[in-house]
Structure 1
């Protein structure tokens, strides 16, 4: 059974995004984005977002089971629908992303997402799963994806009640430990709930002292 992950996007208009989009930026990622080859969208959004997107990407890389010859991780974008996490993006595309605020009634966002969600639904096996790593409390991701994927669209139950930072930390820990979360269908799930206990700090392994 295939398992495909859909990652909600990083905010492309924030302070860290502006660092990359600055024409005078000299650090490696900014130079690659301005170059002809670009940089992988997963890497770029990890820089934009920090912990939350890094957690989503690390978790998806650990547990994706792509269909034969297919893609296991897609990123939801503001203007281009679903794009593979390893696909390079350049400065012009990132600036187009930054020009659109994601809203369910904006055709610049919805039209390409509706198109790609239908294509995804047509291309996966009947028993394949699509896991949304993103907010389910609002309809901006859930509604277009549910319309195409129906019961195959699922999400981690442990997301309910957590904020972005808590989700990111949880996903990073699970990826490092090789522990997969439990998924439930979105259609009948409780999308809001009480905040779960705060994650305990990670305990670094003690180094052994020579005797």
Structure 2
């Protein structure tokens, strides 16, 4: 992706002045896991005002150094390198400050009656501690995530999107964060 010799369309876009879409970059790097999250989020998001510049289409990505950004945000090579160097740790102010600031802006944009669904892991405090601080009881997650690894969550999200079946959500506060691993999902054709 970062090689100046790469001819891949995404690598070429990343080297351009405009950059490449954040969602495309993360999906390329993370494969099934992120592709599942992004596909599911785009399908089921219900933002209160899609025209709002902050809330947008209701899909946001947690970045290592720039807080919450939409998948359509263009990222330059230098910003991408900053992401790669950024430690995703609640104690790291270069991560925590932009995340909390952008989450507060999102909270103001969506209003008091909109839940926010986290499609990442709740087992680690790296996302949940900061987002619970901002959204409180309104921060929810798919209950079927408990006990699942990254790839299983990604596969589950693609499956649910394909079936048009939204998962059941529950608040992060008070949730069981570590559970028994559920049975493997049966193999499925490419989604």
TM band (smaller chain) = over 0.9
Q: Pick from 132, 135, 139 the counterpart of residue 118 of structure 2.
A: 132
- Separation in 1, partners of 2:161, 2:17: 32
Check conservation: 2:147, 2:180, Cα contact below 8 A: yes
1:54-93 maps to which residues of 2 (within 5 A)?
A: 54-68=35-49, 69-70=51-52, 71=56, 72-93=58-79
Q: Distance in 2 between matches of 1:46 and 1:80?
A: 18
Once the two structures are superposed, residues 127-159 of structure 1 have per-residue CA deviations (whole angstroms, 9 ceiling, x without a partner) of: 201000101111110011001100110000000
Structure with bigger gyration radius: 1
Moved more, 63-72 or 195-204: 195-204
Gap runs ≥5 in structure 1: 1-19, 205-211
Offset of residue 37 of structure 1: 2.1
Determine the C-alpha separation between the residues in 2 that align with 1:97 and 1:39. Answer: 14
Q: Of 120, 129, 154, which aligns to 1:143?
A: 129
Tell me how large the CA RMSD over aligned residues is: 1.2
Secondary structure of 2:141's counterpart equals strand
Higher relative contact order (CA 8 A, sep 6+): 1
Structure 1 CA distance for aligned equivalents of residues 9 and 71 of structure 2: 19
Runs of 4+ in 1 over 4 A off after TM superposition: none
Once residues 116 and 82 of structure 1 are traced to their aligned partners in structure 2, the CA distance between those partners, rounded to angstroms, is 6
| TM-score normalised over the length of structure 1 | 0.85
| Number of residue pairs the alignment of both structures matches | 185
From the two aligned structures, give the one with the greater strand fraction: 1
Identify unmatched segments of 5+ residues in structure 2: none
Q: Distance in 1 between matches of 2:166 and 2:157?
A: 9
